Amino acid sequence: SQTIHQWPATLVQPVGSPLSLECTVEGTSNPNLYWYRQAAGRGLQLLFYSVGIGQISSEVPQNLSASRPQDRQFILSSKKLLLSDSGFYLCAWSWEGEQYFGPGTRLTVT
Amino acid sequence: KQEVTQIPAALSVPEGENLVLNCSFTDSAIYNLQWFRQDPGKGLTSLLLIQSSQREQTSGRLNASLDKSSGRSTLYIAASQPGDSATYLCAVLMNRDDKIIFGKGTRLHILP
């Protein structure tokens, strides 16, 4: 069966600090991978998606970036966090059109 | 541009009632439609997936229907329980390798 891991589960970072969130998928190869953000009381916002290693599509211009160094690894990064980066970050993968989500990372920027 | 709308935004019903959540989309040329559940502070759990060629899918007390021509899907929950309290999201996929488009969700509260 397929499993998706995200870490850390929670994170508190000061403004201006760097960020690295990691997502890995087990049990499948060449999945489509996604990063979403969910701000408090708001809907899901797609940030990045990837259909293969090194292939990243950005949906929202901002100070975040994503990388896919391995087939089943997706990393979300920032060089300098902003207060507005606070939120719930969700990684997801899809196979044959069905999407599955990880447990999420709660990021608070102080 | 595809838009997905869920009405109502929030719903409170007494335990034991049957209920229907609605989802509408503007472009009927979808690949599939998926219903998710999200508990507070948690990730999304996939409930039901309906392919474009299908009319409905069932899982336990849940039944999801799809009417592509009218751009509508409904999620029917039978004999609601307090544990059903959560936010329910509808999402459509236009092509197999495309990005999924979400509605804003319906926040459901089942009153014990």
Strands B106-111 and B44-51: unpaired
pLDDT digits (tens, 9 = 90+) for B20-60: 999 999 999 999 999 999 998 899 999 999 999 999 999 99
Q: Does A45 touch chain B (CB under 8 A)?
A: no
Strands A10-13 and A105-109: parallel
Chain B residue with CA closest to A48: the answer is B99
pLDDT digits (tens, 9 = 90+) for B54-81: 999 999 999 999 999 999 999 999 999 9
Residue A61: the pLDDT is 63
Q: Do B42 and A98 touch (CB under 8 A)?
A: no
Q: Average pLDDT over chain A, rounded to whole?
A: 91
Cα–Cα distance for residue pair A99/A81, rounded to 1 Å: 28
Residue B10: the pLDDT is 96
Q: Does A99 touch chain B (CB under 8 A)?
A: yes
Write down the residue that tokens 């690949």 correspond to: B31
Residue A53's φ and ψ, nearest 5 degrees, are -55, 130
Per-residue pLDDT band at B12 (split at 50, 70, 90): very high
Q: Does A46 touch chain B (CB under 8 A)?
A: yes
- Residue B4 burial class via C-beta count within 10 angstroms: exposed 0-12, middle 13-18, buried 19 and up: buried
Q: Is the pLDDT confidence value at A42 over 90?
A: no
Q: Do A96 and B96 touch (CB under 8 A)?
A: yes
Optimal mutation site among B31, B98, B99, B106, interface A, most CBs of chain A within 10 A: B99
Longest dimension (CA), chain A: 40
pLDDT digits (tens, 9 = 90+) for A53-98: 989 998 886 789 999 999 999 999 999 999 999 999 999 998 888 8
Q: How far is B99 from chain A (nearest CA, A)?
A: 8
Of B42, B93, B105, the CB nearest to A104: B42
- DSSP secondary structure letter of residue A79: S
Above pLDDT 70, what percent of chain A?
A: 98
Cα–Cα distance for residue pair B33/B100, rounded to 1 Å: 9
Side chain identity, residue A27: G
